[in-house]
Chains A and B, each alone.
Chain A
Amino acid sequence: METLLFSLFINGLVFSSMLFLFSVGLNLIFGYLGVLNMAHGSFYTLGVYTSMALITMTVLKGPLPIVSIFPLVLVAGVVVGLFGLAVEPILLRRVYKSEHAVQLLLTYGLLLVIDDVCKIIWGLELYNVPEAYYFLGSVRVLDTAFPGYNLFILFSCFALALLLWIILYKTMFGRTARAIAEHREMVSTLGVNSPLFFTLIFVLGIVFAAWGGSITMPMLGIFPGMGLDPLILSFIVITIGGLGSLKGALIGSFVVGIIRSIGIGLFPEIDIAIIYLIMAVILLIRPSGLFGRKEIVW
Chain B
Amino acid sequence: MVIKIGPSVLRARLPILMIIIILLFIVPLVAPSYQIFLLSYGLLLAITALGYNILFGQTGLLSFGHAAFFGLGAYAPAFLTHYAGIRSLEVWIISSIIFATLVAAVIGYLCVRYTKIYFGLLTLAFSMLFYALLYKFYWVTRGDDGLYVPIPSILGFSIPLSKSAYISGPLYYIIIVTSLVLFAFGWVIYNSPFGKTLQAIRENSARIEFLGIPVKRYKWYAFTLSGFFGGIAGCLFGILNGHVNPMALHWIFSGEIVFMCVLGGHRVFLGPIIGAILFTYLKTYAITLTVYWQIILGSSLIALVLLFPGGIMGWAERLMRKRSQGERKSLDVHT
- Which of B118, B295, B298 contacts A283 (CB under 8 A)? B118
Segment with Cβ contacts to B, from A99-107, A203-211, A251-259 = A99-107
Segment with Cβ contacts to A, from B6-14, B87-95, B121-129, B186-194 = B121-129
Q: Is B136 an interface residue (CB 8 A)?
A: yes
Interface of chain B residues 274 through 331 with chain A (CB within 8 A): 291-295, 297-302, 304-306, 309
Cβ A116 vs Cβ B305 within 8 A: no
Cβ B116 vs Cβ A271 within 8 A: no
Q: Is B106 an interface residue (CB 8 A)?
A: no
Per-residue CB contact flags for chain A residues 280-294 toward chain B (1 = under 8 Å, else 0) read: 100110011000000
With contact pairs A113-B295, A116-B294 given, residues A102 and B309 touching in the complex (Cβ less than 8 Å):
yes
Q: Is B258 an interface residue (CB 8 A)?
A: yes
- Please report the total number of B residues contacting A with Cβ < 8 Å: 40
Cβ B126 vs Cβ A280 within 8 A: yes
- The secondary-structure label for the interface of chain A is helix
Cβ A276 vs Cβ B132 within 8 A: yes
Cβ B301 vs Cβ A109 within 8 A: yes
Cβ A91 vs Cβ B306 within 8 A: yes
Query: Contacts of A36 on B, CB cut-off 8 Å?
Result: 117
- Please report the total number of A residues contacting B with Cβ < 8 Å: 44
Interface of chain B residues 81 through 137 with chain A (CB within 8 A): 110, 114, 116-118, 120-122, 124-126, 128-129, 132-133, 136-137
Cβ A284 vs Cβ B122 within 8 A: yes
Query: Contacts of B262 on A, CB cut-off 8 Å?
Result: 101-102, 105
Cβ B306 vs Cβ A94 within 8 A: yes
In angstroms, Cα B293 to Cα A225, docked, is: 15
In angstroms, Cα B143 to Cα A272, docked, is: 14
Per-residue CB contact flags for chain A residues 235-265 toward chain B (1 = under 8 Å, else 0) read: 1100100010000000000000000000000
- Which of A113, A269, A270, A276 contacts B302 (CB under 8 A)? A113
Cβ A280 vs Cβ B125 within 8 A: yes
13 sampled A-B residue pairs with Cβ under 8 A: A100-B62, A100-B116, A105-B258, A105-B305, A108-B259, A108-B301, A109-B302, A112-B294, A112-B298, A271-B136, A272-B136, A279-B121, A298-B117
